[in-house]
Structure 1
Amino acid sequence: MSEEQETAQKVHYICQTYVEKKAGRSGQMSLQIDKQLQYSTAAQAQERAERESRSDACAGADAYMVVEDQESGEVGEPTFIVRLGNVPDAD
């Protein structure tokens, strides 16, 4: 990868947590995103996801990375570092 290509891309490390909410009158539970926190390293994002997943209020947590093309603003598909608890299916 050339130096120009490297500077055109930025890696984001994210910890994303989920909560369960009742949906509509049926009372069915669904997952909703609660927090999205950005970190400088994969280890920091994973550590936060592990800590958040131990909370009673948290249904589940993901730590993942995405690569952003800074020229176009496009963001690639997430690469999961860790998935803990009740999290959405990765399609």
Structure 2
Amino acid sequence: MTEENETAEKVHYICQTYVEKKTGRSGQASLHIDKQFQYTTAAQAQERAERECRSDACAGADAYLLVEDPASGEVGEPVFLVRLGNVPEFDTF
């Protein structure tokens, strides 16, 4: 590996799905992460989110990207490509 490749930022394209689960005695529903898939392109992540969201079991889906600095291991804030259905507020992400 060259030094340039070792310091280049790495982009992760993620599709994350959510399900609603009833909690407590009140039976109030809350969102929980169900599945996560990683892809090599933004289009692949977005297509998967759209496909997953059509499922009756899926409450919602996000497709987003994360930029990782391999030298420090730090990961930036998610950049959403698409948010479909019932998804959590960004603050709770």
Q: Could you list the structure 1 runs, at least 4 aligned residues long, displaced by more than 6 angstroms after superposition.
A: none
Listed one character per residue, the Cα deviations across residues 1-48 of structure 1 (whole Å, up to 9, x for unaligned) are: xx8488431000000000000112221100000001000000000000
What CA distance in whole angstroms lies between the structure 2 residues aligned with 1:6 and 1:86?
38
Any conservation in 1 of the 2:52–2:58 contact (CA below 8 Å)?
A: yes
Q: What is the identity, as a one-letter code, of the residue corresponding to 2:28?
A: Q
Alignment partner, residue 11 of structure 1: 11
Structure 2: which 5+ runs fail to align? none
Any conservation in 1 of the 2:6–2:71 contact (CA below 8 Å)?
A: no
Alignment partner, residue 34 of structure 2: 34
Q: What is the identity, as a one-letter code, of the residue corresponding to 2:32?
A: Q
Aligned residues: 89
Structure 1: which 5+ runs fail to align? none
Return the TM-score normalized by structure 2: 0.89
Percent identity reads 82
Return the TM-score normalized by structure 1: 0.91
Any conservation in 1 of the 2:13–2:66 contact (CA below 8 Å)?
A: yes
Any conservation in 1 of the 2:12–2:67 contact (CA below 8 Å)?
A: yes
What CA distance in whole angstroms lies between the structure 2 residues aligned with 1:8 and 1:46?
24
Alignment partner, residue 59 of structure 1: 59
Q: What is the identity, as a one-letter code, of the residue corresponding to 1:76?
A: G
Alignment partner, residue 20 of structure 1: 20
Alignment partner, residue 70 of structure 1: 70
Any conservation in 1 of the 2:7–2:71 contact (CA below 8 Å)?
A: no
The alignment's C-alpha RMSD in Å is 1.7
Any conservation in 1 of the 2:17–2:34 contact (CA below 8 Å)?
A: yes
